[in-house]
Structure 1
Amino acid sequence: MIERLKDYDYTLIITPILLTLFGLVMIYSASMVTAVVEGLESTHYLARQSMWFVMGLVGFIITSIFPYWKYQKLMKVIIIGVILLLIGLFPFGNTVNNAKSWYLLGPASLQPSEFAKLALIMYLASVYSKKQSYLNEFYRGVLPPLVMTCIILGLIVLQPDIGTAAIIFLIACSVIFSSGIRMKHLSLLIAIGVGIILLSYPFMVTDERISRFTGAYEPFETPDTDGYHLIQSYLAIGVGGLTGEGLGQSVQKLGYLMEAHTDFIMAIIAEELGLVGVVIVIGLLAIIVLRGIFIARKCEDSFGALLAIGISSMVGIQAFVNLGAISGLLPITGVPLPFISYGGSSLLVLLTSMGILNNIAMNVNRKRNETTK
């Protein structure tokens, strides 16, 4: 047992837990006023997120012990289960922010698209690891898994949740690119993707989505409407300076910056803890991403390597999109900041994913230790 404990990657245990605990503190700070205004206890959102944190820890422990290669045998059950959950949203889902993306389960809610991220990573890693010997054949090796990818993306787009669909698309691209497909096949896939976007453009563009772009790139043209959220985010970031106004001292969370405990929580971190707090959070997220890539490079099993790449990409891409939205680099899409933002389904999936990544790391470390004996 002691020998096995030596194989765990404690960086991937300590870092996600530190981020999540810090996230709980910031969720309480950013949400207590909102909760009171809504007629709830000031600790309402903190208590909800803490519940998901406990569930995430259970998922983390289970997946860090469960051998990752056994997921390949469960792949059909996992991917069919996720598709059924996504389909079930249309008759049984709850609409939030004009998207039918949630199941209401008593006091809690579940977002299947978050689970679809991890399920698709597992699926693509499993399929492409088995196709390594004929991956240079486009129609036999590359194309078939993309059908399942398009089905999942299509079901999420129809909710409609374009932000999550874009995240999943980018994660899928990272796994496919890392699988070793030929550049000409990758170029063909990009061309197909661009063609689909162009064909669907007239159907996907709405006034609401156009407003997201105008709000991101011309916020001061519409300061009271489309650009309001981003301007308030700028104010929070600007006021914070180097060390911030102090924990709990944010002004923007007092009804000025909407979704302060979810999409814009980094703006509150910047206001209360300054550039120092922002750099620490980004640094810890970067450690997880880089550690995952390092594990992927050291893993001799192609399934484990692609799984590690997919999980690392999920954290990195989601963080980039969230930070891009609060800084005006990207349109606001409602993507939470990993481990920090309020959101139970996201936290549960992220901590479970960290358990899987730790299991891959444990096997890499065990083989390395065996060769050095």
Structure 2
Amino acid sequence: MKIAKRHFLNYSILIPYLMLSIIGLIIVYSTTSALQIQSGGNPFRSVMNQALFWLISLIGIFLIYRMRLSFLRKSSVVNIVILIEIGLLILSRFFTQVNGAHGWIRFGGISLQPAEYLKLIIIWFLAQKFDMIQSDIGTYDYQALTKGRWMPNRLNDWRIISMVFLILVATLPDLGNATIVALIIVIMLSVSGIGYRWFSTALIAIVSASTLLLGSIWLIGVDVVAKIPIFGYIAKRFSAFFNPFKDATDAGLQLANSYYAMSNGGWLGLGLGNSIEKKGYLPEAHTDFAFSIVIEELGLVGASLILAILFFLILRIIVVGIRARDPFNSMMSLGIAGMLLVQAFVNIGGISGLIPATGVTFPFLSQGGSSLLIISVGIAFVLNIDAHERRLLLEKEIEETFH
């Protein structure tokens, strides 16, 4: 007995997604309209572009939800996507820099950021790879992932592909997305079925390496690091992290004004549309520092409510991953939840000075069609997985009842 998939649509995921998307459109208009008016442009230009990507996203959700999961997990499909992504990342290197970094492919009035797509692609790729060796992981633990070798001996080894992606993104240079991709790889390893002690070891290694890196830059001096060609633009971010008010008109401009925005907001905010900092004082107020403007306009209370909706969405996706009986479905869901959580954490850490600013957008709220599109595709995967798992479970129960 086959039951239509539409009967298993998970509204506890779909409704928060729709709420955050609509809130995001409002925030994009709020953070972009003032400067558009000042420059004599159409105040609705940015939000219309974002709305176009959202419309495409909704169509994508509908199509992906109706797809068979067996098609989405085919090696041939995943390999084609991997090759296209590598090509896009290489192509983006030849387009004009934005804030000292490459990474955008522009045509007409639309720009695409391949590094954003990589976040979901690496989850998809690793889930498919690790699913194929689940029995080996259960027997040999982490050695199943390396075939007993520290160094890979095949070009299609997941370590080779992952390293190629990390190098391509890091050399753009795009420190923020490279960091997120690296953390996503760690998350995927941790949910692959290997012993939890390996995840603990990897986490300790990351924290230790980050502390060592920051300490080394502080001891050597940001000015010395800035002389290295590829790290010139990145060095400014470290300079602002150590003391944003030391150079509040240049390197520390963003973080200093982010502090001012959050201070202006207080508990209840200045009111939607009434931000002071977005009117030319805080650069990237519509992308990297959109959440600072949210706090300024809606206050800590309003920002906390938005965070609560986002974390509820992430929690519901985690529940889908935990309940999934199929390893691929479980790893995909947990990876997508991890992607959203890491992106939110890195963004909030950057705007508050807890970690160096990385240029990472905040999920849903920042202007960025590529970011919204890839989040939507991830949500579509989860909705499909949840419907598939629940339908199989119900059909099994019905079959057992009648037999």
The verdict on a shared fold, with TM-score over 0.5 as the criterion, is yes
Which residue type is aligned with residue 249 of structure 1? N
- Displacement of 1:351 in angstroms is 0.7
Is 1:68–1:359's contact at 8 Å kept on the other side of the alignment? yes
Is 1:345–2:345 an aligned residue pair?
Answer: no
Decide whether aligned partners of structure 1 residues 313 and 186 sit closer, same or farther in structure 2, where only a CA change above 3 A counts.
closer
Is 1:113–2:115 an aligned residue pair?
Answer: yes
Q: Which runs of 5+ in 1 are unaligned?
A: none
- Displacement of 1:321 in angstroms is 0.7
Decide whether aligned partners of structure 1 residues 186 and 290 sit closer, same or farther in structure 2, where only a CA change above 3 A counts.
closer
- Alignment map for 1:137-176 (pairs within 5 Å): 137=143, 138-140=145-147, 144-176=157-189
- Alignment map for 1:249-260 (pairs within 5 Å): 249-260=274-285
Is 1:334–2:359 an aligned residue pair?
Answer: yes
- Displacement of 1:88 in angstroms is 2.1
User: Structure 2 CA distance, aligned partners of 1:114 and 1:285?
Assistant: 19
- Displacement of 1:280 in angstroms is 1.3
Identity of aligned residues (%): 32
Is 2:186–2:199's contact at 8 Å kept on the other side of the alignment? no
Decide whether aligned partners of structure 1 residues 205 and 109 sit closer, same or farther in structure 2, where only a CA change above 3 A counts.
closer
User: Structure 1 CA distance, aligned partners of 2:60 and 2:295?
Assistant: 31
- Displacement of 1:191 in angstroms is 9.4
Partner of 1:84: 87
User: Structure 1 CA distance, aligned partners of 2:120 and 2:11?
Assistant: 22
- Displacement of 1:292 in angstroms is 1.2
Partner of 1:323: 348
User: Structure 1 CA distance, aligned partners of 2:79 and 2:362?
Assistant: 30
- Displacement of 1:348 in angstroms is 0.8
**Structure 1 counterpart SS, 2:147:** helix
**Structure 2 counterpart SS, 1:254:** coil
Is 2:5–2:388's contact at 8 Å kept on the other side of the alignment? no
**Structure 2 counterpart SS, 1:109:** strand
- Displacement of 1:287 in angstroms is 1.3
Is 1:217–2:220 an aligned residue pair?
Answer: no
- Displacement of 1:233 in angstroms is 1.3
User: Structure 2 CA distance, aligned partners of 1:316 and 1:149?
Assistant: 20
- The aligned length equals 371
The structure with the largest alpha-carbon Rg is: 2
Partner of 1:65: 66
Q: Which has the higher contact order (CA 8 A, sep 6+)?
A: 1
Partner of 1:293: 318
More deviation, 167-176/233-242: 233-242
TM-score, L = length of structure 1: 0.91
Is 2:171–2:230's contact at 8 Å kept on the other side of the alignment? no
User: Structure 1 CA distance, aligned partners of 2:233 and 2:355?
Assistant: 15
**Structure 2 counterpart SS, 1:61:** helix
Which residue type is aligned with residue 124 of structure 2? M
Q: Which runs of 5+ in 2 are unaligned?
A: 218-224, 399-403
Which residue type is aligned with residue 307 of structure 2? I
Is 1:69–1:303's contact at 8 Å kept on the other side of the alignment? no
More deviation, 60-69/308-317: 60-69
Is 2:120–2:336's contact at 8 Å kept on the other side of the alignment? yes
Decide whether aligned partners of structure 1 residues 216 and 195 sit closer, same or farther in structure 2, where only a CA change above 3 A counts.
closer
Is 2:91–2:105's contact at 8 Å kept on the other side of the alignment? no
- Displacement of 1:190 in angstroms is 7.2
